[in-house]
Amino acid sequence: MTKHKPAQNPIKTREAIPLTRKGSKDIYCPFCTPSHIILPNKPTTCGTEIHVKAIQYMITQRTAKQKGITCMKCHKDTGGNMVACMQGFIHAHDCAPGTIVLSSEPEYSKMAERVYKLPDKVRKVIEKKMGEVKQIKEIDAEGNETGKINGYFFYKNDV
C-alpha cells in the first residue's frame, strides 16, 4: 500500500532585493537583463511584482499592565494595544490628541518662534501657507515635561 502524497504546487517563487541606481529613485527588476523599472502593485511584462508593506509589532494591553509598561503620550498602562516607539511604547490609537511623537528632532526655526508669539488671527493666516507652528518641550525619561522649551518649527501633516 502506498501513501498518498498531496499534489505539490507547480508554481514556485523566487525573491530578490530590487535594484536601485545611483541618483535615481526608481526601482528596477533584479531578474531581467536589461533591467526595467518596476512599480509597487503594478503588473510587469516579465511577471515580477513588488509588494510594499508596513509591519509594526504590538504588545497587548494585558502584557503592558503585567510588565508595568506605560504609554509615553498619556502615561497610562490601560487603553489598548501598544507599539514600540523609540525606547518606550505608545498606544496604537491616538490616546492623547494634540500630542505628537516625532521620529527625529525637527529643524528649529527662529521664524516659527516669532510666528508662534503673534496674535491668533495673524498666526492662523501664516500657518495656512507655512504649516502649523509647534512648540517642542523637553521631557524626561519618564515622559514628564521639564518646563524647558527646546524650540519651534512649522509642522505640515502631509498624510
Is residue 69 over pLDDT 60?
yes
Of the two residues 2 and 138, the one the predictor is more confident about is: 138
Inform me whether the pLDDT recorded for 159 exceeds 60: no
| 71: number of Cβ within 10 Å | 21
Give residue 41's pLDDT.
Answer: 79
Q: How are beta strands 88-91 and 58-59 bridged, if at all?
A: unpaired
8-66 pLDDT, tens digit each? 776 667 778 788 888 888 888 888 888 898 888 788 888 888 877 778 888 888 888 88
Q: Which pLDDT score, from 0 to 100, does residue 114 have?
A: 92
Residue 131: predicted pLDDT: 87
Residue 61: Cβ within 10 Å count: 17
How large is the average pLDDT for residues 113-123?
91
What pLDDT is recorded for position 119? 92
Q: What is the pLDDT of residues 127-154, one digit of tens each?
A: 888 888 888 887 776 667 788 888 898 8
Cβ neighbours for 75, distance < 8 A, ≥ 6 positions apart: 142, 143, 144
pLDDT, tens digit, 9 for 90 and up, residues 73-110: 888 888 888 888 878 888 888 888 877 777 777 888 89
With cut-offs at 50, 70 and 90, classify the pLDDT of residue 1.
low
